[in-house]
């Protein structure tokens, strides 16, 4: 009888582990699919390439002022955090959150808000589209 209890417990433990592993794989697949969908939508919306953004964030010093999701060392506290930007209603409190407005803001923030601390960096429109694609995807 003890062998039956051990065997049943052993099989139950393995079955539980298999169910947990299967659920984990399903959750991971859904997270990956959601991320891919968000990225594809961001690319279509902006015309940018989000894979170029991390280098651009570093090159133009964005990470010194902003907290940017997924960018190591981008933990600046001067500017607003850029986490969940796609869910914001406004950009910098002055522009409706649309991709064309975000790109224009990144290229020339002081033309919309002369008192902003965000500098005109000389970033090109295409580079701004790449940044916008990344921000909308994250």
Handedness of CA 36, 48, 117, 119 (dihedral sign): positive
Is residue 99 scored above 90 in pLDDT?
Answer: yes
Burial 30-66 (b: 16+ CB within 10 A, else e): eeeeeeeeebeebbebbebebebbbebbeebebbebb
pLDDT at 95: 95
Q: For residues 108-133, give the mean pLDDT.
A: 96
The DSSP secondary structure of 32-55, one letter per residue, reads: HHHHHHHHHHHHHHH---GGGHHH
Q: Is residue 12's pLDDT more than 60?
A: yes
- The average pLDDT across 43-54 equals 94
Cα separation, 68 vs 87, in Å, equals 15
Give the pLDDT score at 101: 96
Half-sphere exposure of 37 (CA within 13 A, CB side): 6
pLDDT-derived band at 37, boundaries 50, 70, 90? confident
Q: Count structural domains, the chain.
A: 1
Q: Distance from CA of residue 12 to its chain's centroid?
A: 40
Domain span including residue 73: 2-137
Q: Say if residue 1's pLDDT is above 60.
A: no
Residue 17 has pLDDT above 70, yes or no: no
What CATH number should be reported for the domain holding residue 19? 1.10.760.10
Asked if the model's pLDDT at residue 136 lies above 90, the reply is yes
Q: Give the pLDDT score at 26.
A: 53
């Amino acid at each position: 009888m003890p062998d039956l209890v051990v065997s049943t417990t052993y099989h139950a433990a393995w079955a539980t582990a298999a169910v947990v592993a299967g659920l984990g794989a399903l959750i991971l697949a859904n997270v990956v699919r959601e991320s891919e969908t968000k990225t594809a939508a961001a690319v279509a919306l902006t015309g940018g390439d989000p894979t170029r953004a991390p280098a651009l964030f570093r090159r133009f010093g964005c990470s010194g002022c902003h907290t940017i999701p997924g960018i190591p060392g981008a933990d600046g506290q001067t500017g607003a955090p850029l986490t969940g930007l796609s869910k914001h209603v406004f950009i910098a409190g002055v522009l409706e959150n649309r991709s064309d407005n975000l790109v224009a803001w990144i290229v020339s923030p002081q033309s919309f808000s002369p008192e902003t601390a965000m500098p005109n960096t000389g970033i090109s429109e295409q580079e701004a589209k790449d940044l916008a694609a990344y921000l909308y995807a994250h």
